[in-house]
Structure 1
Amino acid sequence: MTPMKFRPLTFGVTRVTLRDGAPGVHYLQADQALEPYPERMTDRLRHWAQTVPGRSFVARRIKLADGSLGDWRHVSYGETWQTARNIAQGLIERGLSAERPVVILSENSIEHALLSLGCLIAGVPFVQTSPAYSLISTDYEKLRHVIRTVTPGMLFASDAARYGKALQAVASEDMEVVLLEGELAGRPSTSFAALAATAETPAVDAAMAATGPDTITKFLFTSGSTKLPKAVINTQRMWCANQQQMAQSMPVLTEAPPVLVDWLPWNHTFGGNHNVGMVLYHGGTLYIDDGKPTPALMHETLRNLREIAPTVYFNVPTGFEAIALAMKTDSQLRKTLLSQVRMFFYAGASLAQPVWDSLYESEELEIGERIVMATGLGMTESGPFGLYVTSPNVQAGDLGVPTPGMQVKLVDLQGKTEIRYRGPNITPGYWRAPQETAEAFDEEGFFCSGDAVKWIDETDIHKGLKFDGRIAEDFKLATGTFVSVGPLRARITAAGAPYIQDVVLTGINLKEVGAMVFPTPAVRRLSGLPAGTSMHDVLDSPPVLAHFQQVLNELAKTATGSANRIARLCLLADPPTIERGEVTDKGSINQRAVLTHRADTVNKLHADELHYILKPQA
């Protein structure tokens, strides 16, 4: 069989070293050392402002009066540096600090970026919160928790009309409110323009010089699956070391200034640390994508990708699925997106093989070769970059090998192997949470990730590791048999593609494994029903039920026992919600939150009390 041709891509780490520790413990690391890196990310911003001041750092489409989006507004490195210094002066004058940081409520924007960089220069941590905490939540519980945890001195939001209620609910009198647009009724606020117009003084250079590797850059909150979110401390060392680790693992980043077209939210480490940091570190350009992999907003992402050619492209599986579908018929999308891109990269969930195959088909049609679909493993506490694949022949679930400078500890635990991290990219802990911090690290100082892994090929450790689920998600049936949730969810999603968005497994302390399926919008086409039909009726339609019955039957043929046999399945018409923590801003499902909030559905599924319950047929 002729090997498939890929667009050339160098893999920086292809060999590892492994040593044994105590029984059931092994240590794994890259065979190359971490090279020197800057003390602070602002060193890189200053470098690019001095050497390529006219190069565009960030761009975003201008919002027109009718709400539509127009041409791109660009801000250069020179403009960014000067405006960020002005903002830094304003923060210094206000006496803000780690004890009184800046909380940002809004979505990705040019002003959001400028304020963040002003904070970096001034040595004042910033806190990027999920816009959903302000715009979707009705009780503002998570936003109040953020405010209580970090005690900010300043709150920033893009406009009073959208964020006013949240600000009025959480802002105390000693918190200054900064707004890009509008004013709040009954309380004073500062315009972003006024903050950005503060005249800098020598205090700015003094403040930046006072920052160093241990300076806190930001607090990033975890998703909070079972408890309220924790504030992960991010330092200059973490961010800079992680960017150097990425550069050595992904040499493509060093070959030319990266161009990104990116929607990933900055309140998540993937978008805010990984991607924004990548652009800053290498002097690239970030096009802020106001689209999102949802039916209502995906058209904007596709529009941007028809116009702007990224050099590397990052997304979650649902985004790649929509792009794969569009590329089948959209020649302009294929032409632009595939013209310069050297690497695709997905994270957040498993990418179904049919999506992979569809992307490859379009790539071969357009450019005569495939684009490497890379991936890895990381988390907020690891900066996030931790593991990265070692070859173009990536399979669903592959994670790869550790990045240089980070040591991995593999620990046999509950019949699985947990991966733990130690290195300069690992957080020192959680802000104002000493007990949670102590519980997160083992006796050797390794961060306990809760992720389970196993070897891609036990005969060749240099191929690295693959994902084996989240240990905390796994559960036992009443028989005492463990159910490995992650791999089983991936099997179901792949078997039901392109009609399964995600799956939540049920059956804790019961006799059988059940599955609650969140379908994709594609089921509407499958049903054959007219547009506007309710999702409940769509899921009750004979074509949809017949399809999922067939999926269930096929899965049953390959099941080897009760732990991986889906004995009952139901389709959920109501999508997971951000407000209840069932899904994150970037689309990752939260298994525990879904089980908690839909406990009645779980009970009825296993009691045969739902309207439609599918079971395997012989």
Structure 2
Amino acid sequence: MPTLKHIIYTNEAVPAEEASKPLSGFKNSGVTVHSFEEALTIGKGLVDQYPMVKPSEDSLAIIMYTSGTTGKPKGVMMRHKTVVTVMASVAPIGTHALPPNFTHLAYLPLAHIFEMAVQIGVMSMGARIGYADPKTLTQTGARPIGALEEFRPHLFMGVPKIYDVIMKAAGAKLKKESPGKQQLVASAFEWKARAMESGRYTPVFDMLIFNKFKHILGGNVVVALSGGGPLAATVQRWVRTAFGCQVIQGYALTETCAGATLQMEYDYRPGVVGPPVPGAEISLRSCVGVDGEPEVLDKRGRPYLNTDTEDSNGNPCLGRGEVLIRGPVVTDGYYKLPEKTAEAFRTDGWFLTGDVGVWYPDGSLGIMDRVKNLVKLHGGEYIAMENMELIYGGSQYVDAVTGGIMTYGDGTLDRPVALVQVNELSLTQWAKSDGVEFESIQDLVKNPKAEEEVLKSLVECHKNGGLSGIEKLAGVGLVCEPWTAQNKCLTATNKISRHAVIARDGEILERVKAKGRW
């Protein structure tokens, strides 16, 4: 360790005989060794020499870096007043159902704005925090007991993938039981889920079945927070039913210091992220460019407009469009990146999130799409669709003339997949040289060997194109009927209309998506 200059040691809990022995092995090493008491003495002298400068509300408190999946990470500048505003706004809403001196289990990295914000909020309320690693949450990864059993938290938080893993693990364990018991539990689940949705209790089922489930999270969880990506409706319902707790989704970004909207307690609608928190003003911008061309279309082929009165499913709404956020929860921009700051933070105070939202009649927000097709995978990682398509489009098997390649990812996938408009000449030449029999191009694109060959070529593009590991395709589906502006699969400017492609080639995509789930 060439950079090591100082070692500070303590004799606490060390036998007196051992503590009296001098530390050896550091002579001529360039490393200075201090006891903890010596370090305190040195520190007191420094305090006298350099008086503490108390921060003001405008002092810079944190520089939190974004994930950097679409380029170099950007340092988001958070001032003390921004952090305090978010804590004062969000903490009372998300924790009012918790008991005094509740316990929070912290296991996500503090480099994640979600965990950092929750920890600051918990400490500001004088509650307790137990620290753990994701691998030591249960007895499987820790001895003698896991962190959940040790700390028995009242507040549990996680990204959607964590809840999905918990649900699948419990399901796998249940499958080992007799068919009769499986049927009993399934019936009890449905009964309790409906009871909770109508405000009723199920004490008998809780005593016989669900108290055992509650012990998976330690037995005390009252509120489960989910953030960092969309939580599937089935998972949200399962967690709420199994553990008998409120499952609350929030919507926020690093640029808003983890404060924007929060789903209300007892709001059981999936995909709803709640109304704005105090300190956040939210507006929806119609997703139409200056040239009048739609920036993104919904699954019905319509642009997202802030004057819309119904969503893509025909349900009433109060407008759709890109989510803009303004107010004291919004940070000051990116550290030493004025151009990037100007792109995302408007001079009138609005921050452009890039997310497409919908206002529901009760004032709650829902997140529907991405303006630039930047999506989150199951684990909370961002992937940039357009950039991936640019790199993967270099494969000899991708026919840009008939539509190119459409990459796909969502909150249910661990890795992205893709649909490819194949270059008929290149693919048929490969098939003939490799001895793959086929009657037509329509027959060839259904051949698993053809999919393997195209995927191999795309993986090579990934390797040479500088894409990240999470942007590596896990599966590919081959298409030979062109995507065009006439069949609405392309826009007038030849950009892929994802909803139209999914509507037409959804059967192929659904088959391929299974390869992206681990």
- TM tier relative to shorter chain: 0.5 to 0.7
Match of 2:127 in 1: 284
Whether the 8 Å CA contact 1:292–1:319 is kept in 2: the answer is no
Q: 2:327 aligns with which of 423, 426, 445?
A: 423
Query: Partner letter of residue 387 of structure 1?
Result: T
Match of 1:466 in 2: 366
Higher RCO (C-alpha under 8 Å, 6+ residues apart): 1
Match of 2:357 in 1: 453
Query: Partner letter of residue 399 of structure 1?
Result: V
Displacement of 1:323 after TM fit? 2.3
Match of 2:227 in 1: 347
Q: Aligned-pair RMSD on alpha carbons? A: 4.8
Q: 1:334 aligns with which of 214, 222, 238?
A: 214
Percent identical among aligned pairs is: 20
Whether the 8 Å CA contact 2:222–2:245 is kept in 1: the answer is yes
Whether the 8 Å CA contact 1:440–1:447 is kept in 2: the answer is yes
Match of 2:141 in 1: 299
Whether the 8 Å CA contact 2:149–2:218 is kept in 1: the answer is no
Change in 2 beyond 3 A, CA 1:267/1:386: same
Displacement of 1:344 after TM fit? 0.6
Structure with greater Cα Rg: 2
Aligned positions, number: 345
1:501 and 2:408 aligned: no
Distance 1:450 1:224 in 2: 15
Query: Partner letter of residue 414 of structure 2?
Result: Q
Displacement of 1:305 after TM fit? 1.1
Structure 2 residues not aligned, in runs of 5+: 10-24, 175-210, 288-294, 296-302, 305-320, 375-384, 387-399, 424-445, 447-453, 482-506, 512-518
Distance 1:293 1:446 in 2: 41
SS for the counterpart of 1:402 is coil
Displacement of 1:371 after TM fit? 1.2
SS for the counterpart of 1:373 is strand
Displacement of 1:293 after TM fit? 9.6
Q: 2:248 aligns with which of 374, 377, 381?
A: 374
SS for the counterpart of 2:43 is coil
Distance 2:163 2:66 in 1: 24
Q: TM-score, normalised by structure 2?
A: 0.55
Whether the 8 Å CA contact 1:305–1:333 is kept in 2: the answer is no
SS for the counterpart of 1:344 is strand
Moved more, 390-399 or 247-256: 247-256
Whether the 8 Å CA contact 1:293–1:322 is kept in 2: the answer is no
Whether the 8 Å CA contact 1:325–1:358 is kept in 2: the answer is no
Distance 1:180 1:297 in 2: 33
1:315 and 2:162 aligned: no
Distance 1:293 1:398 in 2: 31
Distance 1:275 1:179 in 2: 32
Whether the 8 Å CA contact 1:350–1:396 is kept in 2: the answer is no
Whether the 8 Å CA contact 2:105–2:156 is kept in 1: the answer is yes
Distance 2:246 2:30 in 1: 53
Match of 1:401 in 2: 275
SS for the counterpart of 2:414 is strand
Tell me the alpha carbon deviations over residues 126-148 of structure 1, each in whole angstroms, 9 at most, x when there is no partner. xxxxxxxxxxxxxxxxxxxxxxx
Displacement of 1:441 after TM fit? 1.1
Q: 2:83 aligns with which of 239, 242, 251?
A: 239
Whether the 8 Å CA contact 2:67–2:73 is kept in 1: the answer is yes
Tell me the alpha carbon deviations over residues 120-173 of structure 1, each in whole angstroms, 9 at most, x when there is no partner. xxxxxxxxxxxxxxxxxxxxxxxxxxxxxxxxxxxxxxxx5xxx7xxx6xxxxx
Displacement of 1:453 after TM fit? 0.9
Distance 1:439 1:448 in 2: 8
Q: 1:199 aligns with which of 43, 66, 86?
A: 43
Displacement of 1:425 after TM fit? 2.1
Displacement of 1:333 after TM fit? 6.5
Q: TM-score, normalised by structure 1?
A: 0.47
Structure 1 residues not aligned, in runs of 5+: 1-159, 169-175, 364-369, 494-499, 513-548, 550-568, 584-593
Correspondences of 1:71-470 after superposition (within 5 Å): 188=31, 198-200=42-44, 203=47, 210-252=54-96, 256-272=100-116, 274-292=117-135, 299-300=141-142, 303-327=146-170, 334-335=214-215, 337=217, 339-363=219-243, 370-413=244-287, 414=295, 415-416=303-304, 417-455=321-359, 457=360, 460-462=361-363, 464-470=364-370
